Chain A
């Protein structure tokens, strides 16, 4: 695919690297000749030096024939305008990085619609969502989110002591009644879309589709979530900390935020009055101990300095905090941090680039089809696809038990008016629904493709 990246900063180059390694044709646009020289020396991409909003620059970069334009400069407004211009020039899809929390969900929706931006990506809320997942579902291998966070597919590995080992899916449903669906099972190098008589074994990697609250329920029933997180400490009142605090408070967790900057603390306290905001130097052991570091269930270090994050996390780990998460921006430090025993590391840059790469991959796969989103599950051996049901869908209204689906496909969820239905045999697909399909070994281009 032809992809244009506007902005050669930290995020831009990370995305560039991963897109190039995926085999896309990438053009980098930046107004700084030094950045351009640097990028063109290291990567096999075309570089255009100029203003990314300028018609001439965009034309030179080939925006007219581009499948995707990603605007990741430091300015939100520039990114918006750049996407708008690119769309006018003729780019297929556009993605803008918009970071300022003043653009809330509603205004973002409006911006997206009126500027025809395909996706708005906020590195802070992305990082916060990932952090929240890491705190809440510590045993999950991976979590994919559909239809605006209301529907997830969570993968985890069955340990020998798990009650599910040796159970068929039918029995599992009886013993642990909740609204969920075992969508995929990976065993060895094979991937199954299991039926009710499928028997689970030790070491299986199972993918469960459900709404986030149902998944939590199920995990509680299974005893995977032994101690819920009640106390969390966050160092650094960054924007991502703000979003994370919101998530944590909503889930009933007490949050303590420590930052050295008075103004940042004040702003934070204004935004999240329920959180305890401490203005102090986190590097002083006294400050953290006084705020009860030893009693914390989770510790998240989010300052802007990698070294500080590593040292603070190490300190928390030695004080016996169960869940320690470290933010590290420089890839080189990750292996060093792992040597110190810090196994839970988050890199916002890497997250952004993963999301964008996945988007590009989905776009490349879905070219010419009606797929809304596409995720690769089980290391790429299975796919989860989200379709929007059209008015003239021939199988609308027919109960699912009367439909003849292809082998190794599964209707994992129906989203009707923002409500999730985990389908049973009596449910049916209606026009205007969104449907999430799991498939292994098929390439689906249309919803009707799943029928025999």
Chain B
């Protein structure tokens, strides 16, 4: 393991965070809030720590392999969250560090689960930072670093692979750096478009920025305790529609940019995604028809809840914890599938689900015709054996980690639904679950230990399990330098 390179890059990420702190600090300055001091101290801490780390571990060689990619990604996310929690903690607005850490992890992993009983109590600078973490975490902070820092390494593809969600990662352009730039460009333009549209709907600039960040990263932190319920129907529609767009694989936007709209529309994953959204909305409409008389209202609430859950954002316009069981079941199912690979959404990802079902079908055929040769195809391309195996193994490990987390937080003594959906909501980066952790509830009632467990489950979910697990393996850290015998 090239440890120096790992720590050097992690140091750079922390330095980058010091820069990112400037944005909420500016907000705090504009509104003349007390938390400005907390931000300034945090900037100093991040700058000293990050600068020191990257300076004292100047790499001798910049060659990295897959394991360094995993280690860089998971450590970077861990440090990012640990230091990102300082402003909440130092400003005393979230007095417990564990709570602040949970809130920050929830932000960066675009989960949107909160321990705050009343969001309105937070100062605007901190609210901005909370939502800004969604925006950074959505597309990935390492991708951001790749896009704007030249010459980090020739093999940064390993880092991108570890950070970008989905079973396979395709490059749009020959260079990782250009690919990262294009992705961020699309991301920024789409976010800006949403801000403008929300401003049109009468939202203040601050509010529309916060909601646009939450939408873009498919995170779901709001600035009101009732999430998005008190927003105007127009704004709810805007958010819902943008959520749909942010749940699509960003590579497809690039295809549109270069004029290959047809191959974009032919994408299997996009079609399944659209079909699932449509079907889910129809199910909810039927089930909820007695609750809402107005057709527009019925359609809006159904569509909004379906889209917010499938993209794992976790905004809500209605307390679906009080809805009929059928609707809740549909939503819990959508929690697990998530949206498209290569988007900012969490969950298992639709392409994996599609591959999984294809795999099952192939296995089924293989049992009927033991000599048959079965080839999986996706978008007209053969799916190689490693990807097929990868999907099955991922799902098994996913279930394993899920159960482990479930057992670990069960001693909190909440009811079954709350415990189960708390894990589902965190692990899939959704945010709100059902029962006590419903859209208008929160995670404040869990013990510190459970909050840490859930924080890690959010990180596991965002980075798709492997990077964190592999970084924990001592074998990955093996160094070629043996200690000199005396």
Contact = CB atoms under 8 A, between A and B. Distances in A.
B155 A41 contact: yes
A108 interface: no
Interface stretch (A42-50, A87-95, A320-328, A339-347): A42-50
Interface centre among A2, A27, A46 (most CB of B within 10 A): A46
B154 A25 contact: no
B171 interface: yes
Interface stretch (B30-38, B124-132, B174-182, B397-405): B174-182
Interface in A21-37: 25-27, 33
A150 interface: no
B121 interface: no
A318 interface: no
B261 interface: no
Contacts of A27: 174
A44 B154 contact: yes
A interface, by DSSP: helix, strand, loop or mixed? mixed
A25 B177 CA distance: 11
Contacts of B384: 33
A40 B174 contact: no
Contacts of B158: 41
B156 A44 contact: yes
B157 A25 contact: no
Interface string B122-159: 00000000000000000000000000000000111110
B173 interface: yes
A87 to B, nearest CB: 21
A345 B435 CA distance: 76
Interface residues of A, number: 14
B155 A25 contact: no
Contacts of B157: 40-41, 44
A26 B178 CA distance: 12
Interface string B243-275: 000000000000000000000000000000000
Given A25-B178, A33-B384, A43 B154 contact: yes
Contacts of B155: 41-44
A25 B173 contact: yes
B297 to A, nearest CB: 46
Nearest to A17: B154
A25 B176 CA distance: 11
Interface in A1-17: 2
A26 B173 CA distance: 9
Contacts of A40: 157, 171
A227 B361 CA distance: 77
Contacts of A43: 154-155
A44 to B, nearest CB: 5
A31 to B, nearest CB: 12
B166 to A, nearest CB: 16
B391 to A, nearest CB: 17
A25 B384 CA distance: 27
Interface of B: 65-66, 154-158, 171, 173-178, 384
5 contacts: A41-B65, A41-B155, A41-B157, A44-B154, A46-B173
Given A26-B174, A41-B65, A46-B171, 9 more contacts: A41-B66, A42-B154, A44-B154, A44-B156, A44-B157, A44-B174, A44-B175, A44-B177, A47-B171
| Cβ-closest 4 pairs across A and B | A46-B174, A25-B174, A46-B171, A45-B174
